[in-house]
Amino acid sequence: MMSRVCPPWGRLTIVNDVVNYCWVTHNVDMTPGSVIEALSDPTRRQIVTLLSGGPKRAGELAAEVGMSAPAISRHLRVLLSALVIADERLDEDARARVFRLRPQSITTLQAWLDQLMTGRASLDAAADEQSDRQSV
């Protein structure tokens, strides 16, 4: 058997002698940048808009967006990794996943935008004051 360390955290699960799978955990934080990057695509923004109305299955999202299952899956994976959405397994059918919006990610982005606008407002006020002084 092989023993190999997988970067960056070194946890290795050996499934058989031929194929090795690395279990890597990432410390993901909901930074505004990761949320903005995830929402940079119009299709992902449409998915988030649809999920704002309530949880939906991937098939429902694919039908409403007009995409194939593999294509919608790629977009859902990006939104999941940025923690914009979450998925849950249904008790009655463990194969089915329901996706829902995670408001915490939007709140994080909104807080950053509010902070940005507060700084912008103080800059605008200073610029107005400066122009008033020059006109007098």
What is residue 20's three-state secondary structure?
Answer: strand
Q: With a cut of 90, say whether residue 21 has pLDDT above it.
A: no
Q: What is the pLDDT of residue 1?
A: 36
pLDDT for position 28 = 47
Please check the confidence at residue 98 and state whether its pLDDT lies above 90.
yes
Return the domain boundaries, the chain. 1-27, 31-105
Q: Which residue in 116, 101, 99, 109 sits closest to 30, CA to CA? A: 109
Q: Is the domain covering 31-105 a CATH 1.20.1260.10 domain?
A: no
* pLDDT digits 0-9 by tens, 102-125: 988 888 888 888 888 887 666 666
Rounded to whole angstroms, the Cα distance separating 59 from 99 reads 11
Q: Is 24 helix (H, G, I), strand (E, B) or coil?
A: coil
Residue 100 parent element (H or E): strand 97-101
Query: Using alpha carbons only, what angle is made at residue 27 by residues 104 and 88, rounded to the nearest 5 degrees?
Result: 50
Q: Is 95 helix (H, G, I), strand (E, B) or coil?
A: coil
The larger pLDDT score, comparing residue 24 to residue 19, is at 19
